[in-house]
Structure 1
C-alpha cells in the first residue's frame, strides 16, 4: 500500500513538472513568435517606404564604439573604405560613439582621407534605455532632426557619419547606441525618403576582413570584404552572410606614425577561444553570425536590430539574438568560411583589474555564456540550440575525423602537437563547464528599466 502511494505521488510530481515545462516552452514560443512578427512588420514597412528599391552603388557599415576603440579605428576604418573602393563601390560608414565617448584626434584624421566626407551628428537626451533618441547635425540639438540622403553617383564620395551619443542615465551600452542608430537615424531617414544601400555590414572597432581558406594561412593583405560581397551578389537568395569569427591576440604597432593595436596571428590563443575558432560556423550550435562581421540585406538587418534594441536593452549578445530571430523568420543565412573577421581576445597571461584579479580570457567567455543563458531563458533552449549551444559538443564524437582534422589544421602532426592540442581540449571543456555553472545562476537580464548596460 505504501509503495503504491509512493508511486502515485511520484507520478503526480512528474506530471506537474512536465506540465510546467510545457507551459514554459509555450510561453517562450509565444515571445519568439511575437518578436519575429515585429521583425517582419518592420521589413514590410521598409520595403513599402523604399518601394523595395535599394542603392546598389554603396555599402552601409555600422559600428558602435566605446573607450578603447581609438586603438583600432585609425587602421580599421581606412582599411574598410579601401576594401570597398577596390570593389568599385562607395561607403556610408556610421560610427556610434557611446555615452559621451570621444576620440577627436582619430576622427579628425578621417577628414584627411582621400575622397572622404566626415559628417558629425549628435543625439538628444535619451529618455529610456529602449527609446531611440532624435539625432541632429548640431551639438546643441536644435532645429530639424537630421536625415540621411542620397548623393549623386558621379561624386564617388565615401561618407563617415560620426554619431556623438550624449552621456546620460540610459545611454551606456552597445545596444543603446545601436538603438539610436537603427531605430532613429536609419528608420527615420527611410521614412523621409532615403533609399539605403542594398547591403549593410556590421563590424566592431577591431574588425579586419581577411581571407583564410581551409587549412591555409591567413592572407594579411587580402580583401575578404570583396570576396564576401561578391559571394552575396552571386547568391542573391542569401539574406544574411556571416564571416567566420577569428579570435586573435592584438599587439601594439605603429602605422603611418600612429600607434594602433593589430592582430598577432602567431600568438597562442587561450583554450576556449582556440576551440571556438575551430568549431565556428562548422558545426550545429556554433552558427551565430558575428556582430564583428555580418553582411546582409539592409531591410533585414535594420529590422532585426531595431526590434532587439527596442525590446531588449540589456542584451550584450545581440549578434546571437539576431541570428536566432533571422532563422525563425525564415531568412536565408550562412557563414562564409573562407573570410574571417578578427575579434580581439586577451592573451593567456592577461588579468582583469578586479580585486582580486581574474584571468581575462575566462571573464570574456563568462560574458558570452551569461548572455547566452539570458537568451536561452527568453526563447527556450529548444529554439536556440542549433544556433547557439553551450552544452556538450557531441560533434566531437559523431564527426571525430573531421573534427580532428580541424584541430590540427595546417600544423605539422607530431607527438608534441597532438598532446598539446589534446590538453587544450581538456582544459577548454572543463573550464567551460565551470563557467556555465556560474552563468546559469547569473544569467543576463534583458528587459526592464534597471537592466545593466553592457559592452
Structure 2
C-alpha cells in the first residue's frame, strides 16, 4: 500500500510539473509572437509616416533571391514577369539578390539586351552578423555613400533590373540573409532617405511562373496569373497580401531564346506528398501558408514582415510560412488566390540526392520544409500556428469530401484504374509523411543565434 501511494504521488508530481512547464512555455511563445507582431506593426507605421502614406501606383517592385542553379530559370522567368507587369500597364523594378557570392554573368548580360530595360549593378559590403543587413553600394569596392533609390531616377527608363551582388562570407549563406540585405538595407534605408516606393511588391523564386489554373486541372502556360492578382488587389484595396497557390512540377531541359533552361513539365507525375500538398493548399486548416514563390501585396506590409523576420530569425528557411503567421496576428488581410498558381520545382520520383547520404530528393525537399515547421512550432507554439501550417492530416477535408475528390481527380478520367492509382499515391504520401515527421522532430531548424543556419 505504501509503495502504491508513493508511486501515485510521484506520478501526480510529474504530471503537475509537466503541466506547469507546458503552461510556462506556452506563455513564453505567446509573448514572443506578440513582440514580433508589435515589431511588424511598428515598422509599418514608420513606413507610412515616412512616405506620408503615399505610394507610386505606376510601378511594381519584384524581389527574388538567387543561388546556384538559378541560372537555369532566370533567363525566362525574369523577362516573363516583366512582360506580365507590362500587360498590367505598369513598369517593373526587379531586384535580383545573388546570394553569398553566386554569379551568373552571361544570364545578367542578356537582360541588358531586353527592350526598354535598364540593368543596374549593386554590391553589398561584408555582412557583420547573420541578422545585420549589409550596406549596399553602386560600386564593387563599396566606397562612398550607400546606394538608395530615388524617385527621379524612374523617369529615365521603363523597366529596371537591380542586380545585388552579395559578398560571400561567414554570415551570408541562405535566402533569408540576402533578403535581409535587400529589405533591411536597400528598401528600408531608401524610404528613410525620402524614396516613395511602388504600392505593390511581388516576391517570387527563380523558377516561379504566375499562371492561371482552372478548377485545379488545366494550367494555361501562356496565361498571365500575375495580372489577375494585381487586378484583384487594385479592386479590393482592403486586401494587404494576396498569394498564389503552389503548383509543383518536375522540370525538364529546354531552350528559350537561345538559352538552355529548365522548364516545368505539367504532364509528368509529381511525387506523392507534393501532389497531396498541391491538392489541399489554400483550402484547409493547416494548409494556408503563403508560398514564397508567389506573393503579391502592399509594399509597406511585406517590407515590415521580412525586415522583422530577417533580423530576428536569421535561421528561418521557410520565411513564407513565417510571414503568413505574423501577417495573421498583425490583422493583415491575407488571402490565397486559388485560380492562380506559382510554379515550384520538385525533384522527380527517381531523383537521388548527391551532396549527402543518398536519399530520394523529393523526400528531402519535404523534410527541409518540415524541419522549418518544427522550428516555428517551437518558436510560437502549435496552438498559434496550427490553422496556417501543420504536419498533421487536414481532417477538415471530411466536411466536404466530394469537393476534395474532384480536386484529387484533376483532369484524369474517372475509372477503377485511376481511382486505385490515386489512393495508392495517397497511401505512399501518408507513409512518407510519418517518417519525415519523425526525422524533423529530431532536427528542428534553429532560428536564432550563432547556431542558426539558413542554407542547405
TM range (shorter): over 0.9
Relative to structure 1, the CA distance from residue 330 to residue 181 in structure 2 (aligned partners, 3 Å threshold; closer, same or farther) is same
> What's the CA shift for 1:257?
1.1
1:203 is the counterpart of 2:208: no
> What's the CA shift for 1:214?
1.2
> What's the CA shift for 1:323?
0.3
Q: Structure 1 length normalisation: TM-score?
A: 0.98
Q: Which residue of 2 aligns with 1:19?
A: 20
CA contact (8 A) 1:351 1:359 kept: yes
CA contact (8 A) 2:72 2:262 kept: yes
Q: Which residue of 1 aligns with 2:340?
A: 339
Cα shift readout 1:283-312 (whole Å, capped 9, x = no counterpart):
110111111000111001000000100011
Aligned partner of residue 219 in structure 2, secondary structure:
coil
> What's the CA shift for 1:404?
1.6
Q: Which residue of 2 aligns with 1:254?
A: 255
Structure 1, gaps ≥5 residues long: none
CA distance in 2, matches of 1:32, 1:292: 25
> What's the CA shift for 1:215?
4.1
Aligned partner of residue 212 in structure 1, secondary structure:
strand
Alignment map for 1:71-82 (pairs within 5 Å): 71-82=72-83
Q: Which residue of 2 aligns with 1:290?
A: 291
Structure 2, gaps ≥5 residues long: none
CA distance in 1, matches of 2:205, 2:364: 19
CA contact (8 A) 1:270 1:347 kept: yes
CA contact (8 A) 1:90 1:156 kept: no
> What's the CA shift for 1:256?
1.1
Q: Which residue of 2 aligns with 1:440?
A: 441
CA distance in 2, matches of 1:258, 1:112: 13
Q: Which residue of 2 aligns with 1:350?
A: 351
CA distance in 2, matches of 1:391, 1:232: 32
Q: Which residue of 2 aligns with 1:421?
A: 422
Q: Which residue of 2 aligns with 1:54?
A: 55
Q: Which residue of 2 aligns with 1:42?
A: 43
Aligned partner of residue 214 in structure 2, secondary structure:
coil
CA distance in 2, matches of 1:21, 1:266: 48
Q: Which residue of 2 aligns with 1:305?
A: 306
> What's the CA shift for 1:16?
1.5
CA contact (8 A) 1:241 1:333 kept: yes
CA contact (8 A) 2:124 2:164 kept: yes
Q: Structure 2 length normalisation: TM-score?
A: 0.98
Cα shift readout 1:254-302 (whole Å, capped 9, x = no counterpart):
1111111110000000000000000010111011111100011100100
CA contact (8 A) 2:351 2:361 kept: yes
CA distance in 1, matches of 2:213, 2:352: 30
CA contact (8 A) 2:117 2:157 kept: no
CA distance in 2, matches of 1:73, 1:256: 12
Aligned partner of residue 285 in structure 1, secondary structure:
coil
Aligned partner of residue 236 in structure 1, secondary structure:
coil
Cα shift readout 1:388-447 (whole Å, capped 9, x = no counterpart):
111133134343222222211222101010000001101101110111011101101011
Cα shift readout 1:103-122 (whole Å, capped 9, x = no counterpart):
11110111111111111000
CA distance in 1, matches of 2:74, 2:103: 12
> What's the CA shift for 1:355?
5.3
CA distance in 1, matches of 2:152, 2:221: 33
CA RMSD of aligned residues (A): 1.3
Alignment map for 1:192-231 (pairs within 5 Å): 192-231=193-232
Q: Which residue of 2 aligns with 1:406?
A: 407
Cα shift readout 1:135-166 (whole Å, capped 9, x = no counterpart):
00001110111001114776561010000001
Tell which deviates more after alignment, 382-391 or 394-403: 394-403
Q: Which residue of 2 aligns with 1:133?
A: 134
Alignment map for 1:380-391 (pairs within 5 Å): 380-391=381-392
Relative to structure 1, the CA distance from residue 355 to residue 373 in structure 2 (aligned partners, 3 Å threshold; closer, same or farther) is closer
Cα shift readout 1:203-223 (whole Å, capped 9, x = no counterpart):
000000000021441110000
Aligned partner of residue 228 in structure 1, secondary structure:
helix
